[in-house]
Amino acid sequence: MATTQATTQATIQQQSGKTRRTRQVITQYQKERSLEQLREHYEIEKELANRLRNASREERRGLYNEVYDERLRRIPHHPLATKAADPVAQQAAVTPQLKLLQPLLKAEHVFMEVGPGDCALAMAVAPYVRHVHGVDVSDGLVQEGARPENFELHIADGFEIPVPVGSVHVAYSNQMMEHLHREDALEQLANIHRAMAPGGCYVCITPNRLSGPWDISRHFDDVATGLHMHEYTVAEMVETFRQVGFRRVRAFVSYEGHHLTPQLPVAPFCWLEWGLAHLPRTLRRNLSHSLTAVKIVAIK
């Protein structure tokens, strides 16, 4: 065990200890989990991810449900599982997201979260709107207990969005889109667009590839090899959203739920990314550590 711990420690330090932010992330992980657990998480998630990457489109239709349920069974110490069982941690995650969304919500709105996980945020939104839909591939993180009467959870296949066409005023996802195969993400996004009402907005937050990878493989590999099937840049996201029919796409900057900027044209973000992408990898990660996420607001 000592040898395993030393090997894992050396690998993590070699691959990920290159920036101050990464060292802070590792320290936080080590407070919560042992190095053996990190290694176990990495190896299991990489195995599951390869199953998705090597599957055909039709095979993936039934595979997302299987893979994400299996992940929870095999990695009981996964941070999402421990957060879902901890009301304090759950509330700490919900509060800034609710603060971010509240300016967009009206009492007559239908709200939809794609990839709600434990559904804590979706249920926290329920008092502010007429109806809430949660759409996910697994309900394994949802805790037992009372649910708001205006909340529905739909278990889907990673492609379909099983809500009425043209009914959603505000859609939201946070750390979801990167978990889909690139082809599947495009199809799901088209279905999200179809579900939205004219003039509705989709707030989408996903890790930025230039400062990644952002899954468990961050501690071991230079590119995402875990269940982040594809990490994006702002430029890629804009192209993808326009491809399925969103008429306006803007970027924004926020911190802890506070909007630091209004909705901005995407061109400056794309220019910045273009410059960073042409730098050596280590320098790029050092300079792009503040670009942890792509934050998009798209209007139908």
CATH for 165:
3.40.50.150
Give the residue, 48 or 19, on which the prediction is more confident: 48
- Residue 150's contacts (CB-CB under 8 Å, 6 or more residues apart) are 126, 129, 130, 131, 132
Model confidence over 89-103: pLDDT tens digits?
A: 999 999 999 999 999
128 burial class (0-12, 13-18, 19+ CB within 10 angstroms)?
Answer: middle
- 250 pairs with which residues across the strands? 297
Q: Please choose, from the candidates 207, 192, 184, the residue with its C-alpha nearest in 3D space to the C-alpha of residue 245.
A: 192
Q: Give 12's pLDDT tier (boundaries 50, 70, 90).
A: very low
The model carries a pTM of 0.88
Residue 207 DSSP symbol: E
In whole numbers, what is the pLDDT of the chain averaged over residues?
Answer: 89
| Domain carrying residue 286 | 2-299
Over range 42-66, report the average pLDDT. 97
Does 3 score more than 50 pLDDT?
A: no
Confidence (pLDDT) at 8: 46
Asked whether the predicted pLDDT for residue 213 surpasses 90, the reply is: yes
Residues 6+ apart with CB under 8 A from 74: 44
Strands of the chain, DSSP E: 110-114, 131-136, 151-155, 168-174, 196-207, 248-251, 254-255, 258-259, 293-299
Mean pLDDT for 245-262 is: 91
**pLDDT of 108 over the 60 cut:** yes
DSSP assigned state of 140? T
pLDDT digits (tens, 9 = 90+) for 145-189: 889 999 999 999 999 999 999 999 999 999 999 999 999 999 999
| Phi-psi sector, 138: left (phi>0), alpha (psi -120 to 50), beta | beta
Q: What is the pLDDT of residue 61?
A: 94
Count structural domains, the chain.
1
Burial (Cβ within 10 Å: 0-12, 13-18, ≥19) of residue 104: middle
- What number of other Cβ atoms are within 10 A of residue 99's Cβ? 14
For strands 131-136 and 110-114, give the pairing: parallel
Give the Cβ contact number of residue 56 at 10 Å. Answer: 8
For residue 31, what pLDDT band results from cuts at 50, 70 and 90? low
> Can you give the pLDDT at residue 23?
45
pLDDT band at residue 283, thresholds of 50, 70 and 90? confident
Peptide bond into 213 cis (omega under 30): yes
Can you give the pLDDT at residue 2? 44
CA pair distance 127, 172, nearest whole angstrom? 16
In sequence order, the β-bridge partners of residue 254 are 259
